[in-house]
C-alpha cells in the first residue's frame, strides 16, 4: 500500500473501524439485488420483485438522513444499534414471508422496515473527519473509503446473486443481514474513535442540514448522477441479453466499478492546492461526457472499455463532494449532510432504473443509453447553475468542520479517550 494510505492507519483504532465499515456496507450492494433475485425465483413475479426493491430503496432514502441526524445528536452507538435491530427484525419477517407466499402487503411492510438500515459509509467518514479534519490526510481517507465503496459494488452483487441461485433463494438477503449486524455492532463497540455527539450545537444549528444552499446543489446534482448509475446498470444487462451474453453483464459492470476504484487509489495519492468546488464541477462534466461513447457501442468489448473509462470520473467526484459537504454543513450536522448526498444518489438510482427500463421496452437497449446521457447533461446544468452557492459557504452557527477541527479536535479526542476508559 502506498505510504499516504499507510499513514492513515497510524492512529489507533483506524484499522478496526475501517474494517467494520466495509463489512457493514456490503448490504448496500447486496440487499436490493438479493430481494429481486429471491422474489423472482420464489414467485416468478419480476414486477413484484422490482417494486419491493424500489420500496426498500425509497425507505432507506427517507430514513437514512433522519437516523444520521439522531447520530449527530446522540452518538453512533446509541442510535445505530436500535436502528439496525429494526432493520434486522424486518428482514426476519421478509424471508419467511417470501418463502411461504404470505400476502404482498407483508413483503412491502418488511421492505419499509429494512430501509431503516443506517448509512455506514457516512458513519465511517465522520470518524475519519474527527481524526484528520483540517489536514491533507482527510483527502486520502475519503479516497480510501471510495475504494471500499467500489469493492462493495464489485463483489456484493456477485455474492448475493450467486448464493441465491446456487444455494437457496433467501441466501443473498440472509448474508446481507448478517454482514449488517456484524458490521454495525463491531463498529459501535469501538468507542475510542466514535465522534463526540453535539446535542447542544445541533440544537443551536436549527433545522435540517438540507437548509444549506450548498448542500442543496450537491444533493440535486447527485440525484442526476444516481440516475446515470441506475440507468447504466439496467441498460447494460439488457444490452448483454440482446447480444446473447446476459451473464457477461456482471463482468462489464464490474469493470465500471473497477475504473472508479482505480481512480480513487490514484486520486488519494495526489495533493491539490485549488478549491474543491472546481474539481467537483470538472468531475461532473467528465461523467457527463463519458456517457456519450455509450450511445455508439455496438458490442460488449467496446462497452466494457467505454464503461471502464467512464468509471474513472466517479470516485474523484465523490471525494470532492464529501469535501464540499464539510464546507457547507455545520459540524453538528456532518453525518446527516453526508447521508443526504447518499440519499440523493439512491433516489436517482431508482429514477434511472425506471426510466432506463421504460426506454428499453419502447426502443431497445442501445437507445436506453440515452437516459444516462440526458442525466449527465442535467447534472452539468445543475452544477453550473449552483456553482456560486458552492463558492461561498454560508457561515453557520456551530461552525463548519474545518473551523471545528483546529479548535476542538484535541478536546474531542480526550473526551473519546475518557469515554473509552470508562
Instruction: Report the Cα 43 to chain-centroid distance in Å.
Output: 30
Most confident of 25-34, 331-340, 395-404, 412-421: 25-34
Task: Reply yes or no on whether the pLDDT at 87 is more than 60.
Answer: yes
Task: Reply yes or no on whether the pLDDT at 17 is more than 60.
Answer: yes
**Predicted local distance difference test score (pLDDT) of residue 293:** 93
Q: Is 106 exposed, middle or buried (0-12, 13-18, 19+ CB in 10 A)?
A: middle
363-376 confidence digits (pLDDT tens): 888 888 999 999 99
User: CA–CA separation, 414 vs 157, rounded Å?
Assistant: 41
Q: How far is CA 179 from CA 27, 60, 88, 172, in A?
A: 7, 17, 11, 11
115-155 confidence digits (pLDDT tens): 888 888 889 988 998 888 778 888 888 888 888 887 887 78
The structural domains of the chain, ordered by start, are 16-194 (1.20.1250.20), 209-422 (1.20.1250.20)
Nearest partner of 322 among 309, 336, 338, judged by Cα: 338
User: CA–CA separation, 356 vs 294, rounded Å?
Assistant: 14
386 pLDDT tier (thresholds 50, 70, 90): confident
- What is the grid cell recorded at 372? 444516462
334-367 confidence digits (pLDDT tens): 777 778 887 888 788 778 877 887 888 788 888 8
State the average pLDDT for the chain. 81
Q: Which of the two residues, 399 and 53, has the higher pLDDT score? A: 53
pTM: 0.75
Sorted by sequence, the CB contacts under 8 Å of residue 85 that are 6+ apart come out as none
C-beta separation of 343 from 64 below 8 A: yes
Backbone angles phi, psi at 330, to 5 degrees: -60, 150
| DSSP-based three-state secondary structure for 102 | coil
21-50 confidence digits (pLDDT tens): 999 988 887 887 788 778 878 887 766 777
**Predicted local distance difference test score (pLDDT) of residue 199:** 59
Across 249-276, average pLDDT = 80
Half-sphere exposure of 310 (CA within 13 A, CB side): 29
User: CA–CA separation, 96 vs 169, rounded Å?
Assistant: 11
Task: Reply yes or no on whether the pLDDT at 242 is more than 90.
Answer: no
C-beta separation of 180 from 84 below 8 A: yes
Identify the H or E element spanning 365.
helix 365-368
149-180 confidence digits (pLDDT tens): 878 877 887 788 778 878 888 988 999 999 99
End-to-end CA distance of the chain: 35
**Predicted local distance difference test score (pLDDT) of residue 207:** 59
3-state SS, one letter per residue, for 184-244: HHHHHCCHHHCCCCCHHHHHHHCCCHHHCHHHHHHHHHHHHHHHHHHHHHHHHHHHHHHCC
Across 306-310, average pLDDT = 93
Amino acid at each position: 500500500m502506498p505510504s499516504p494510505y499507510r499513514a492513515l492507519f497510524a492512529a489507533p483504532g483506524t484499522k478496526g473501524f475501517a474494517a467494520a465499515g466495509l463489512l457493514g456496507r456490503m448490504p448496500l450492494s447486496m440487499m436490493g439485488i438479493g430481494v429481486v433475485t429471491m422474489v423472482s425465483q420464489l414467485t416468478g413475479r419480476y414486477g413484484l420483485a422490482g417494486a419491493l426493491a424500489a420500496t426498500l430503496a425509497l425507505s432507506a432514502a427517507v430514513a437514512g438522513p433522519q437516523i444520521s441526524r439522531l447520530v449527530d445528536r446522540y452518538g453512533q452507538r446509541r442510535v445505530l444499534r436500535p436502528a439496525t435491530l429494526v432493520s434486522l427484525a424486518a428482514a426476519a419477517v421478509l424471508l419467511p414471508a417470501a418463502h411461504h407466499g404470505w400476502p404482498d402487503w407483508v413483503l412491502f411492510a418488511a421492505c419499509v422496515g429494512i430501509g431503516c438500515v443506517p448509512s455506514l459509509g457516512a458513519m465511517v467518514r465522520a470518524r475519519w473527519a474527527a481524526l484528520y479534519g483540517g489536514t491533507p490526510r482527510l483527502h486520502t481517507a475519503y479516497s480510501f473509503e471510495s475504494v471500499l465503496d467500489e469493492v462493495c459494488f464489485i463483489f456484493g452483487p456477485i455474492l448475493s446473486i450467486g448464493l441465491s441461485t446456487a444455494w437457496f433463494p433467501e441466501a443473498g438477503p440472509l448474508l446481507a443481514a448478517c454482514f449488517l449486524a456484524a458490521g454495525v455492532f463491531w463498529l459501535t463497540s469501538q468507542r475510542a474513535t466514535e465522534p463526540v455527539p453535539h446535542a447542544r450545537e445541533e440544537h443551536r444549528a436549527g433545522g435540517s442540514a438540507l437548509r444549506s444552499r450548498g448542500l442543496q446543489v450537491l444533493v440535486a446534482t447527485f440525484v442526476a448522477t444516481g440516475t446515470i448509475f441506475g440507468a447504466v446498470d439496467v441498460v447494460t444487462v439488457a444490452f448483454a441479453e440482446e447480444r446473447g451474453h446476459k451473464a457477461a453483464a456482471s463482468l462489464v459492470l464490474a469493470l465500471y466499478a473497477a475504473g472508479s476504484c482505480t481512480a480513487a487509489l490514484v486520486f488519494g495519492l495526489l495533493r491539490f492546492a485549488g478549491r474543491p468546488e472546481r474539481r467537483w464541477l470538472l468531475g461532473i462534466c467528465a461523467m457527463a461526457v463519458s456517457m456519450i461513447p455509450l450511445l455508439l457501442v455496438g458490442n460488449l468489448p467496446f462497452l466494457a472499455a467505454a464503461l471502464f473509462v467512464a468509471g474513472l470520473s466517479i470516485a474523484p467526484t465523490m471525494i470532492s463532494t464529501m469535501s464540499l459537504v464539510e464546507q457547507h454543513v455545520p459540524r453538528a450536522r456532518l453525518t446527516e449532510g453526508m447521508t443526504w448526498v447518499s440519499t440523493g444518489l439512491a433516489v436517482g438510482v431508482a429514477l434511472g432504473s425506471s426510466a432506463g427500463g421504460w426506454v428499453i421496452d419502447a426502443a431497445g437497449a442501445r437507445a436506453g443509453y440515452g437516459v444516462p446521457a440526458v442525466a449527465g447533461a442535467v447534472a452539468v446544468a445543475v452544477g453550473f447553475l449552483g456553482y456560486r452557492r458552492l463558492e461561498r459557504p454560508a457561515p453557520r452557527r456551530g461552525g463548519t468542520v474545518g473551523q471545528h477541527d483546529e479548535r476542538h479536535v484535541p478536546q474531542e479526542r480526550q473526551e473519546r479517550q475518557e469515554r473509552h476508559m470508562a
